[in-house]
Each structure stands twice: as structure tokens, then as C-alpha cells.
Amino acid sequence: MRKLSKKQILRIIIAALLGLLCIYILSRFSHIILGPRIVLDAKFTETLTSPVIDLSGHIAGGRLLWINGTQVPVEQNGHFETQLVVPTGYTMITLESRNELGSRRIKKIPVYYQPPEVSEETNTTSVEPPETESQIPITTSNQ
């Protein structure tokens, strides 16, 4: 086995430090390099029973957000919340975020809204017949 010189050891240490520095920079600034990250507080994987969706979450590395083309306010810490009304059937909700450098990220959420079935039955009230004659209402008319 060959012994490494001090110069070679120094090069290996410098290369390792530069590698660690690159990894650190990428982890800290990935939202700038790769674009903002959109994280939702809830998942929409089931059939919706209400047409109104409370949509909230946060954006890491972005300050601007559009949901289905409408800009939504984002707090200083990246948090956002809004309500959407979806039509009956299958709908794709599109979230788009941008950072200060123009990098953007698009997230699409498929949802399916099935309204509750409305019964076609008419509301009829059944009236029990009185048990005795004293329970029969008496009406009088003045002619």
C-alpha cells in the first residue's frame, strides 16, 4: 500500500470540504435553484361531499401563489389559506408558485365532487284519525 503525501492528503481534505459546502448550499438554496415548494395541510384523495374546499398550506421559497389562475395572498412566513368552490364531477385544481428569481413550481390536485343524492319523494304528512268524537275539530261558519 502506497503512503499518501501531505500534499495529497491536503487535496483530499479540501475536496471533501468543497463537497460538503456544495451539499450545504444546495440544501439551503434548493428552493431558489429548483423553484418554490408547495406543501398542503390536507390531502384530497377521496370523493368530496361538499363543493366548498378549505385549501391551506405553505410555500417554501416562494412569495406568489395562484390557484386556478387567481392570485392568493401569502403571509410573510409562506402560509396561505383560501376557499374554493368546485363544480360537480372531476376537477383539476392547479396551484402555481413563483419566487423572486422567476422560478416556478406547479402542483395539480385532482378532486371529484359528488353531490348528495336528493330524494324525489314528496313530503306528505300522514294524519291519524281521531280516536273519539270529542277529538274531532268543530268548525262553524257565519253566513
pLDDT per position as a tens digit, 67-103: 999 999 999 898 999 999 989 889 899 999 988 777 8
Q: CB of 111 within 8 A of CB of 91?
A: yes
Output the pLDDT for position 118.
72
- 80 touches 73 (CB < 8 A): yes
Task: Tell me, yes or no, whether 46 lies in a domain.
Answer: yes
User: What's the pLDDT score for residue 49?
Assistant: 82
Which structural domain, as residue segments, surrounds residue 76?
7-113
* Residue 65: predicted pLDDT: 92
Identity at 74, one-letter amino acid code: V
Helix (H) or strand (E) holding 9: helix 6-33
Residue 127 lies inside a defined structural domain of this protein: no
- Residue 39, in any domain of the structure: yes
Count of the separate structural domains present in the chain = 1
Q: What is the mean pLDDT of residues 35-43?
A: 84
| Contact criterion met (CB below 8 Å) for 80 and 96 | no
Dihedral sign from CA coordinates of 60, 61, 63, 64: negative
pLDDT above 70 covers a percentage of the chain that reads: 76
Does residue 2 lie in a domain region? no
Residue range 38-53: average pLDDT? 81
106 lies in a domain?
yes
Q: What proportion of the chain, given as a percentage, has pLDDT over 90?
A: 28
Residue 8: all three cell numbers together: 495529497
Is residue 143 included in any domain, yes or no?
A: no
Residue 28 has pLDDT above 80, yes or no: no
Domain-embedded: residue 138 = no
Residue 120 is assigned to a structural domain of this protein: no
Residue 90: give its domain's CATH number. Answer: 2.60.40.10
